[in-house]
Amino acid sequence: MTRQLKGFFATMAMLLSFVAGAAESDIIISHSNAGQGMAPYLGINLGSANYDLANDSSPSYSIFGGVALNDLLAIELGFVDFGDVDVTSIKSEASAVHGSAMANVGLSNELSAFVQVGLARWNYDSGAASDSSIDVFFGGGLNYEVRRNLAARFAVQRFAIDANIANTAMDEAILNVSLGILYRF
């Protein structure tokens, strides 16, 4: 297991212990309308995708939607376009459709933190060749409640792309850092 994954799982364990402690509190979690059961939401993020192998970055955007199952847990589906970068004069681009489980913890009445882990079906194009597959991704971030049904989101997500382009293995890691908004119904 890589050092990054070990660090992520340690951070996730720490945040989940905070979630367990917050389970008995009256803090309102930003993903949901506390006490109203399942709460759906939609959002959009704009950010920067940092391609590790390409040693380059590109503007990115994502759209997502989910359902807060309760004050602590949510499930989310989304699409992210990582933009394009130049790898040794060859244009490369990636995108992914993803689904994840999220754990939330309230830090105050307006601020909550989340961690997510899920599966991403990615597409990676490099020059005239392309590859796609499914890999695990993870992330975390903060939601700030602007008003009752509107929150600002800061998210950091790491996607592993183990592509095979022209019989060459390319283990690309993309770190997507973004800001956005989400609207709860």
Tell me the sheet residues that pair with 145. 151
Distance, first Cα to last Cα, the chain: 40
Given a contact cutoff of 8 angstroms between Cβ atoms, the answer to whether 105 and 18 are in contact is yes
- Tens digit of each residue's pLDDT (9 = 90 or more) over 81-136: 999 998 777 888 999 999 999 999 999 999 999 999 999 999 998 888 889 999 99
- Nearest by Cα to 4 from 113, 163, 137: 137
How many Cβ atoms sit within 10 Å of the Cβ of residue 121? 14
| pLDDT interval class at 34 (50, 70, 90) | very low
- Nearest by Cα to 137 from 68, 61, 78, 69: 78
Q: What is the structure's pLDDT at 175?
A: 96
In this predicted structure, the answer to whether residue 180 has a pLDDT above a threshold of 90 is: yes
- Tens digit of each residue's pLDDT (9 = 90 or more) over 148-166: 899 999 999 999 988 888 7
CATH number corresponding to 3-184:
2.40.160.20
CA 62 to CA 78: how far, in whole Å?
7
What is the b/e burial string over 65-77, where b = at least 16 CB atoms within 10 angstroms of the residue's CB?
A: ebbbbbbbbbbbe
Cβ neighbourhood burial of 99 (10 Å; 0-12, 13-18, 19+): middle
Delimit the domains of the chain by residue range. Answer: 3-184
Given a contact cutoff of 8 angstroms between Cβ atoms, the answer to whether 70 and 97 are in contact is no
In this predicted structure, the answer to whether residue 172 has a pLDDT above a threshold of 90 is: no
Q: What is the structure's pLDDT at 25?
A: 45
CA 126 to CA 132: how far, in whole Å?
12
Q: What is the structure's pLDDT at 121?
A: 96
Q: What is the structure's pLDDT at 12?
A: 54
| pLDDT interval class at 171 (50, 70, 90) | confident
Calculated CA dihedral for residues 176, 113, 73, 173, nearest 10 degrees:
20
Q: What is the structure's pLDDT at 37?
A: 59
Among 31-40, 84-93, 173-182, the range scoring the smallest mean pLDDT is 31-40
**Side chain identity, residue 127:** G
**Side chain identity, residue 24:** E
